[in-house]
Amino acid sequence: MNITVIGTGYVGLVSGVCYAELGNKVICVDKDLGKIETLQAGEIPIYEPGLKELADKNCSAGKLAFTTDLTEAVRQSDIIILAVGTPPMPSGEANMAYINQAALDIAEAMNGYKIIAIKSTVPVGTNERIHELIRTRTSEPFDSISLPEFLREGSAIKDTLNPDRIVIGADSGSAADTMVELHRPLTEQIIVTDIRSAEMIKYASNAFLATKISFINEIANICEKVGADVTKVAEGMGYDKRIGQSFLKAGIGYGGSCFPKDTRALIQIAGNVDYEFKLLRSVVEVNQDQRFNVIRKLETIFNGQLRGKTVAVWGLAFKPNTDDVRDSPALEIIQYLVENGVKVKAYDPIAMENFKGLYGKEGVIWCNQALDTAQDSDALCLLTEWDEFAEVDLNLLQSVMKQAILIDGRNVFKEEDLLGTDFVYYSVGRPSLNKGVKQQIPVMQL
C-alpha cells in the first residue's frame, strides 16, 4: 500500500519505518525542514533502539522517504496517517492546533479517495470533528479512521511489529477492511469498533496503567512502614491472572510524553461532561508526590541540612532506553535541590542534551561518566534504571564518594550487591534492605 505519515515525532517516525518494513511504500512528512534534512541524511533525531537500522534498510530499498511536501505526499498515497503532536495546554486539554492544521492541509491536497487515519492521541469526538472539517473543504471522497497507538518508548519497534492488539475505529466497513489487511501481518488480535470507542480505548489503557504504577507506589510506601518488601508483594500479586506482573514495579513514579499528558486529558474530558474522575485525580496526585520521596529521604539523612551538600544524580530520562525527558522526575528533583543550595552533578548515558534543553544549562555540573558524577559527592540519587548503573562496582563507587549514601529510586540493587559495602542505602518499599536509615516499623497489636 502507499502510505503517508504526517508527523515525524516519536509515533510518526516509528510507525512510518515499521509500515515500510512490512513492504509498504511510505512517505513521512514534517514541516520542520531541519528534521527532514536530518532524516534524509540518514540520521535519526530520537533515540530508539533498532530504529536507525530499520530506517536505513528501508530507505535503501526505496520503500521509505522523507519530505516537507505534504501535498505531493498525499497525492501519491491511498492511506494518510496523522501522527502530529497533541501537547497538553495549561488546562490539561490536548492542544488540537497541529492536527487541525494537518487536516486542512490534507483537504487542500486531496486528489481522489483516501483513508485518513488519526494515530495521534485525541479527545473522544475528534475524529468526527476532523472528518467534518475536511468534508467542508473538499469534494473528494474519503473515510476517516481512528487508529490509536500503544508504543512504549525504548521498545517501540518490538511493540509495533509484535503488538498485543490493533484497535481500528471505523464507520465504513470497506475502510475497516483495508486497515485490517494492512495490519494483518502483525497480529490476529485486531479489534474493529466504532470511532469513539477506539478513541476512548487509548485513554482508558494509559489511565489504567498509570493507576497500576501509582497503586504499587502507594503499597511500597506502606511496606516501608510495616516492614514488608514491595518486590515480593508485587510478585505475589502478579501471579494472579486478573492482575498480571506488568507495571507493578515500585519507584519514583511515571513520566514521559504519554501518561502525564493522557491522565490529565482524561480528567479534563470527564470534566467537560460534568463527571469528576476522582480515582484518576488521585493517581496523578500520588505520582506527583512520589518523586519527592527522594528529597524527603535526603533531608532525613542530613537532618534537614541539604544546603552546601554535593548530590550526584544518575539518570535524567524518564525511563531507560530513551532520550525522552518530558515530565521526568529528575526535572523537579534537581530543581528542588538547586533551589535549596545543593551542588548537583548529573549524568545520563543518552538524555543529557535533551535534559539541558528542557531544564537549562545553569546550576548543574554536567558529567560524562557515572563515576565522575559520583566523585566527591555526599550522596547519589539513582533516578533512571539504565543497565550501566546496575553494573557499577559498588565498592569502587563507595571509594570515590565523599560519603557513601545511595538513594536508589528504581530498586536497581539487590541485597547481594550491597554486601561488603558501607553504604547508607535507601530504596523504595524494601525496608529490610535499607542500611543506615532510621526506620520506624511499628509492632502490630493483635
Cβ neighbourhood burial of 338 (10 Å; 0-12, 13-18, 19+): middle
Q: Check residue 87 and give its pLDDT.
A: 86
CATH code (residue 13) = 3.40.50.720
Does residue 343 lie within any of the structural domains?
A: yes
Same domain (yes/no): 283, 319: no
pLDDT cut 70: percent of the chain above it: 98
Strand duo 364-366 + 379-382: pairing: unpaired
Nearest-Å Rg of the Cα atoms of the chain is 24
Q: Are 294 and 383 in contact (CB under 8 A)?
A: yes
Range of the structural domain that residue 224 is part of: 202-288
pLDDT cut 90: percent of the chain above it: 92
Q: Are 397 and 413 in contact (CB under 8 A)?
A: no
316 is in an annotated binding site: no
Give dist(CA 382, CA 389) in Å, integer: 8
25 is in an annotated binding site: no
236 is in an annotated binding site: no
Residue 443: pLDDT over 70: no
The predicted-structure confidence for 68-127, as pLDDT tens digits, reads as follows 999 999 999 999 999 998 888 888 888 899 999 999 999 999 999 999 999 999 999 999
**Mean residue pLDDT across the chain:** 94
Q: Are 66 and 39 in contact (CB under 8 A)?
A: yes
CA angle 315, 204, 12 (to 5 degrees): 60
* C-alpha cell recorded at residue 172: 465504513
Residue 184: pLDDT over 60: yes
Domain count along the chain: 3
Last residue of some domain: 131, 161, 193?
A: 193
Same domain (yes/no): 245, 317: no
CATH code (residue 247) = 1.10.1040.10
Residue 442: pLDDT over 70: no
Q: Check residue 437 and give its pLDDT.
A: 57
92 is in an annotated binding site: no
Q: The whole model's pTM is what?
A: 0.91
The pLDDT of 421-439, averaged and rounded, is 85
Same domain (yes/no): 258, 295: no
**Is 59 among the catalytic positions?**
no
Residue 217: pLDDT over 70: yes
215 is in an annotated binding site: no
The pLDDT of 177-184, averaged and rounded, is 97
Active-site pick, 18, 28, 223, 258: 258
Q: Check residue 446 and give its pLDDT.
A: 39
Give dist(CA 203, CA 146) in Å, integer: 13
The pLDDT of 164-171, averaged and rounded, is 97
